[in-house]
């Protein structure tokens, strides 16, 4: 179960956008966008279990070939998610090569592609090396609130943004766990026992702080309370682990609808990775190209209440002036 994310941009902010999220304890990784993947060592690419594609402009999808090149011949299933049209795109990419000798390869490589449309229908298809990457449709189901992946410790949600064409933004959330400090429990004279489960359940369901939890004492001498208030126990023995959130939003314009959707997706995120393509002095150009300015990116981060803002996808016109983009975004982010 992943308890720890380690997110890192794949390229420098002037390079293709892309985020590599190592799920350290799960010994796997997630990829956001398939632009230029060449900075990723092969062992890092082999760790990728799921890739999320915002849209199919080349700087976000051309790296599919690099992924394929590294994985071919491997025993591996990789899931790829993206907006409507993704399955056809994966099919065309795979169809570009001839696979007459692929059946002699030992490793069985499977791509599972899933595309989501604007009403939340998720359609899936599978491409297996054993079938020369022929397409097998795997049905359609309905996603709840853009949810693309849900596992016991992790969930990934998406939202449609407008970039002149539909683009997905993503949020990666780790489930929080309520744990307890055993040493503190013992120091208080309480014993470790089944009552702790009731305590954790009450905490997770948001019970009132004055609700009483039945406790067990190490030495149940008379006069010791059989119940203690939840709020007191939370203060003394509770330890919350995990619950981190990361959001990734690129290629969209500064419209009310986009702002609202990114703010919702990135609400209280620990880190918001967001494009800062133009300087605000070129806001007209940003609007025409359906991109954000650095100032707009910072404003969105502040509205979302994100704890940290990392900007990417700088336009090459500002080469050598990257710090100006970063400074502009951070000033708007901190409200300066
Ligand atoms: Zn782009």
CA-angle at 150, arms to 145 and 155, nearest 5°: 75
pLDDT at 311: 97
CA of 60 to the centre of ligand 1 (A): 6
Sign (positive/negative) of CA torsion 78, 84, 86, 88? Answer: positive
Residue 1 has pLDDT above 80, yes or no: no
CA of 199 to the centre of ligand 1 (A): 48
Q: Which domains does the chain have, with CATH numbers?
A: 1-175 (3.60.15.10), 176-242 (no CATH), 252-336 (no CATH)
**What is the percent of the chain where pLDDT is above 90?**
82
pLDDT averaged over every residue in the chain: 93
CA 62, CA 42: separation in Å to the nearest integer? 17
What tokens were used for 165?
């064409």
Residue 336 has pLDDT above 60, yes or no: no
pLDDT at 208: 92
What's the predicted TM-score (pTM) here? 0.84
Q: Which pLDDT tens digit goes with each residue over 207-225?
A: 899 999 999 998 877 778 8
Arithmetic mean of pLDDT, 30-34: 98
- For residue 160, what are the CA distances in angstroms to 91, 125, 141, 315? 23, 21, 18, 23
CA of 258 to the centre of ligand 1 (A): 16
- SS3 at position 102: helix
CA of 102 to the centre of ligand 1 (A): 33
212 alpha-carbon distance from chain centroid: 38
pLDDT at 2: 40
Q: Where does the pLDDT of residue 170 fall: very low under 50, low under 70, confident under 90, or very high at 90 and above?
A: very high
More confident residue, 222 or 249: 249
CA 253, CA 98: separation in Å to the nearest integer? 39
CA 195, CA 214: separation in Å to the nearest integer? 7
CA 168, CA 143: separation in Å to the nearest integer? 14
Q: Which pLDDT tens digit goes with each residue over 101-160?
A: 888 788 899 999 999 999 999 999 999 999 999 999 999 999 999 999 998 788 999 999
CA of 57 to the centre of ligand 1 (A): 6
Q: Which pLDDT tens digit goes with each residue over 45-91?
A: 999 999 999 999 999 999 999 999 999 999 999 999 999 999 999 99
CA 258, CA 300: separation in Å to the nearest integer? 10
Q: Where does the pLDDT of residue 205 fall: very low under 50, low under 70, confident under 90, or very high at 90 and above?
A: confident
Give the number of other Cβ atoms within 10 Å of residue 154's Cβ. 20
CA of 166 to the centre of ligand 1 (A): 12
Q: Which pLDDT tens digit goes with each residue over 268-308?
A: 999 999 999 999 999 999 999 999 999 999 999 999 999 99
CA of 295 to the centre of ligand 1 (A): 18
Instruction: Give which of 248, 257, 239 is closest to 306, Cα–Cα.
Output: 248
The upper half-sphere exposure of residue 133, i.e. CA atoms within 13 Å in the direction of its Cβ, equals 23
Q: Which pLDDT tens digit goes with each residue over 195-204?
A: 999 998 888 7
Residue 176 has pLDDT above 80, yes or no: no
Pairing mode, strands 109-116 and 121-128: antiparallel
260: part of which helix (H) or strand (E)? helix 256-265
């Amino acid at each position: 179960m992943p308890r720890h994310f380690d997110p890192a941009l794949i390229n420098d902010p002037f390079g293709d956008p892309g985020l590599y999220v190592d799920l350290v304890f799960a010994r796997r990784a997630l990829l956001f966008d398939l632009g230029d993947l060449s900075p990723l060592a092969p062992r890092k690419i082999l760790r990728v279990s799921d890739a999320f594609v915002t849209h199919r402009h080349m700087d976000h999808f051309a790296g599919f070939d690099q992924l394929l090149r590294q994985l071919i011949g491997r025993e591996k299933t990789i899931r790829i998610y993206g907006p409507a049209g993704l399955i056809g795109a994966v099919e065309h990419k795979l169809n570009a090569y001839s696979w007459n000798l692929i059946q002699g390869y030992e490793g069985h490589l499977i791509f599972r592609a899933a595309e989501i449309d604007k009403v939340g229908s998720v359609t899936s298809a599978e491409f297996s090396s054993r079938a020369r990457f022929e397409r097998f449709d795997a049905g359609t189901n309905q996603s709840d609130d853009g949810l693309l992946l849900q596992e016991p410790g992790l969930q990934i949600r998406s939202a449609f943004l407008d970039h002149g064409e539909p683009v997905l933004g993503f949020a990666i959330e780790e489930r929080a766990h309520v744990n307890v400090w055993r040493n503190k429990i013992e120091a208080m004279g309480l014993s470790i026992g089944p009552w702790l489960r009731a305590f954790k359940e009450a905490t997770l369901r948001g019970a009132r702080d004055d609700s009483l939890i039945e406790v067990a004492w190490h030495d149940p001498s008379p006069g010791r309370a059989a119940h203690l208030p939840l709020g007191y126990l939370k203060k003394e023995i509770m330890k919350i682990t995990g619950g981190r959130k990361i959001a990734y939003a690129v290629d969209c314009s500064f419209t009310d609808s986009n702002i609202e959707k990114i703010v919702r997706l990135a609400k209280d995120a620990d880190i918001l990775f967001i494009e800062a393509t133009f300087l605000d002095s070129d806001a007209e150009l940003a609007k025409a190209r359906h991109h954000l300015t650095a100032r707009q990116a910072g404003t969105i981060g502040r509205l979302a209440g994100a704890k940290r803002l990392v900007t990417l996808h700088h336009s090459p016109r500002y080469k050598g002036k990257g710090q100006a983009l970063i400074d502009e975004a951070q000033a708007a982010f901190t409200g300066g």
